[in-house]
Amino acid sequence: MGTMTFGSEWGWGADYEESKRIFDAYANAGGNFIDTANRYTEGSSEWFVGDFTTNDRDHFVIATKYTLQDRSGDPNFAGNHRKNLKRSVSESLKRLQTDHIDLLWLHAWDFTVAPEEVLRALEDLVRLGDIHHIGVSDTPAWIVSQANTIAELRGWSSFVGLQIEYNLLQRTPERDLMPMAKAFNMAVTPWAPLAGGALTGKYLHENEEAKRLKPESARLNERAQLITREVVAIAQELNVSPSQVAINWTRQRDQVVVPIVGARKVGQIEDCVKCVNFVLSDEHMQRLNNLSSIELGFPHDFLASDGVKNVVYSGQYDKIKDLKH
């Protein structure tokens, strides 16, 4: 469960009481993996999560993040560097009312610090027991690959999770990020599995909220509406909600994918968690895959072309492919 909605400081979240109801609904349904960040709602999200989990801390897996600013205009309070990491984690531990973080995400790559420095600093906190595992979010695949290779060589903790935007309207991670995560045995935790609510179908009919969004938004364009209509159609066929269909599409990949689902109202989380009660059929998955497919681009489409496969595998691609599996 994502908790960026816990707190009203940003003008659209849930207050303390509603956040507690959302949390309880998730926990009572069997959920125990909580995702937050130092920056969410100016720290209120972590305060709320700390309050809600303190009585049964070890039952819950708490993931938080560092990188984003805690003070505007001061680079010592932002970025990937060691100083901000140590400071940010120390403050998160206070807000979360705990002595350890189960999973710490690097929130976004800042391109100013070498992977070795980041990994060494993270390893220090792992050895101190402040954090148990590390993950990486919103970072190019080549940097993550470089970092995990360095970690393996040095005997340091490697990134075990990858957090990215991934949904039926945003499939570009399939070019490099998703296959990289599978190759390194990293779990993927997609944010925005409902594409900011677009895949629920609420924007299909013009309303004031949709008018406020940019007309060129990739979540509202003609392609997005075609995909969303198919999600709604499949939901009607299965007598489930469109949200559950969209979430299950992300879950039913050929690798470990744990979508992050947030809510501003208790009814939303109650609806979303019901996705675990069914699976999409192969036919439904194929309909969604076909409609939302993207061009993988070079070198992926090039290497997958029949002509290239013929000369690379000496005309024996199908036989060699079968041996690989």
Residues 248 and 299 in one domain: no
Confidence class for position 218, pLDDT limits 50, 70, 90: confident
Residues 301 and 285 in one domain: no
What is the model's pLDDT at position 205?
Answer: 79
Active site residue 40: yes
Residues 269 and 244 in one domain: yes
Please state, in angstroms and as integers, the Cα–Cα distance from residue 42 to each residue in 10, 17, 71, 265, following that order.
8, 18, 10, 20
Q: How many domains does the chain have?
A: 2
The predicted-structure confidence for 156-211, as pLDDT tens digits, reads as follows 999 999 999 999 999 999 999 999 999 999 999 999 999 999 999 999 976 556 65
Judge whether residue 262 has pLDDT over 60.
yes
What is the model's pLDDT at position 299?
Answer: 96
Residues 227 and 306 in one domain: no
Spatial separation of the C-alpha atoms in residues 251 and 265, rounded to whole Å: 23
Confidence class for position 217, pLDDT limits 50, 70, 90: confident
Residue 4 forms part of a structural domain: no
- Domain with residue 113: its CATH number is 3.20.20.100
Spatial separation of the C-alpha atoms in residues 208 and 318, rounded to whole Å: 53
Query: What's the whole-model pTM score?
Result: 0.93
Residue 9 forms part of a structural domain: no
The predicted-structure confidence for 44-60, as pLDDT tens digits, reads as follows 999 999 999 999 999 99
Given 16, 26, 40, 166, which residue is catalytic?
A: 40
